[in-house]
Amino acid sequence: MFSEILDRFDWNQTTDEINAKTATDVENALSKEILSVDDFMALISPAAEPYIEVMAHKSRQITLSRFGKTISMYIPMYVSNACTNACVYCGFNHANPITRVTLSLDQVRAECEAIRKLGPFENLLIVSGEFPALNGVDYLEKVLLTARPYFNNLTIEVMPMKQRDYERLINVGLNGVVCFQETYNRQNYNKYHPRGMKSIFDWRVNGFDRMGAAGLHKIGMGVLIGLEDWRTDVTMMARHLQYLRKNYWRTRYSINFPRLCPAEGGYIPSEIMTDRQLAQLTFAFRIFDHDVDISYSTREKPTFRANMMKLGVTSMSAGSKTEPGGYVSTPDALEQFEVSDHRSPTEVAREITSLGYEPVWKDWDKAFD
């Protein structure tokens, strides 16, 4: 289990090692074809900041050779904001007195039909809070069966589950799981996740082993930028990704770096990552792992997404609503996070095409299941 590997690395020592990297370490990392985590640490370090143009060029070349000029398109569908957890940065926090909505299957069907009218999406990300009695495995199984006739590729971003539950959902068409560890800082993890199943660090971090053992086609990972030192957190994630690739090599992987905004859930991020730092991190990950899918959501602004599309990003959401029932109506439910790119999927696709890239709506077929 990855928790045992993680415990071999001291958080503060890792932070110190990153900050001690030099220009020579960066140049050494940039001269290699296959990078170690130590090299990755050099590329995300402050010492690499003057090398961002070189990194952008290298990241672009690798991305072009592995993915071509394509951007995979996906759209989230929020099915429930009911949650027993109390993540301090989230508007769906159990303690928040908001209207709780869990979509009926008829409502799920209506959302699917509304999404299909927005664009030829085939990659659907089903998102839910964590409230096992309301939106647990039984409910998700029915949601997957309801959504399956509309979309070829079904991914969920929900509570971590047992291996046998993942297997059960794979049997009804589940293709991928996205799960954010949020932070790998074990010592401070409960400051942000004080109650519910999400407060159990090992259950969450070892969920990726359970996903891999269940044979999922794709696993998505991420840390929430704005909780702990981002450089240390992404280094731990790089170690995690390397571990998963070694142990579950049939699975494909994607990564995402959601940045906390100051207003979300009333939580003030400990640090604000600049666009330049996010670009540096994106280039570093591409140079470290040539095949990982790097995803930018509609949290990011249109101009930044357009620039990064040519330099390392390989998938994007578009037209996103982040509240349950958001595609059919304007519901009386809080958005989980604020969207920065409000353009329609057609507008986003048009821009991708104008930049010489191809929006890919379908990269998986139900027949492969």
User: Which range, of 70-78, 86-94, 146-154, 340-348, touches ligand SF4 by CB under 6 A?
Assistant: 86-94
CB of 136 to ligand SF4, least distance (A): 13
Shortest CB 325 distance to ligand SF4, Å: 16
Closer residue to ligand SF4, CB minimum distance, 85 or 152: 85
The CB-of-77 to ligand SF4 minimum distance in angstroms stands at: 15
Closer Cβ to ligand SF4, 81 or 277, answer by number:
81
CB of 317 to ligand SF4, least distance (A): 17
Nearer to ligand SF4, 71 or 178 (CB): 178
Euclidean distance between CA atoms 112 and 124, whole angstroms: 9
- What's the alpha-carbon Rg for the chain, to the nearest Å? 20
Window of 83-91, 134-142, 277-285, 343-351 that interacts with ligand SF4 by CB under 6 A: 83-91
**What residues between 200 and 239 interact with ligand SF4 by CB under 6 A?**
none
Phi and psi angles of residue 173, each rounded to the nearest 5 degrees, phi first: 110, 5
- Please pick, from the candidates 11, 51, 92, 357, the single residue that binds ligand SF4 as defined by CB under 6 A: 92
Which helix (H) or strand (E) segment is 295 a member of? Answer: strand 293-296
Check residue 87 for interaction with ligand SF4 (CB under 6 A).
Answer: yes
Q: What CA–CA distance (Å, rounded) separates 288 from 81?
A: 36
Residues 6+ apart with CB under 8 A from 254: 176, 178, 218, 219, 220, 221, 292, 293, 294, 295, 315
- CA 52 to centroid of chain Cα atoms: 23
Pick between residue 241 and residue 334 the one whose CB is nearest to ligand SF4.
Answer: 334
Q: Specify burial of residue 307 (Cβ count, 10 A radius: 0-12, 13-18, 19+).
A: middle
Provide the mask over 159-178, with x wherever binding to ligand SF4 is found by CB under 6 A and - wherever it is not: --------------------
Q: Does 93 bind ligand SF4 (CB under 6 A)?
A: yes
- Looking at 14, 45, 63, 85, which residue binds ligand SF4 (CB under 6 A)? 85
Q: Is 90 helix (H, G, I), strand (E, B) or coil?
A: coil
Q: Which two tokens stand for residue 355?
A: 């930049």
Which residues are CB-neighbours of 195 under 8 A, at least 6 positions away? 84, 85, 86, 94
- By the rule CB under 6 A, 258 interacts with ligand SF4: no
Least gap, CB of 193 to ligand SF4 (angstroms):
7
Q: How many residues does the chain have?
A: 369
For residue 129, state whether it binds ligand SF4 (rule: CB under 6 A): yes
Give the C-alpha separation, 283 to 223, whole Å: 16
Say whether residue 130 binds ligand SF4 (CB under 6 A): yes
85 three-state secondary structure: coil
Per CB under 6 A, 323 contacts ligand SF4? no
Q: Which residues bind ligand SF4 (CB under 6 A)?
A: 83, 85, 87, 90, 92-93, 129-130, 198
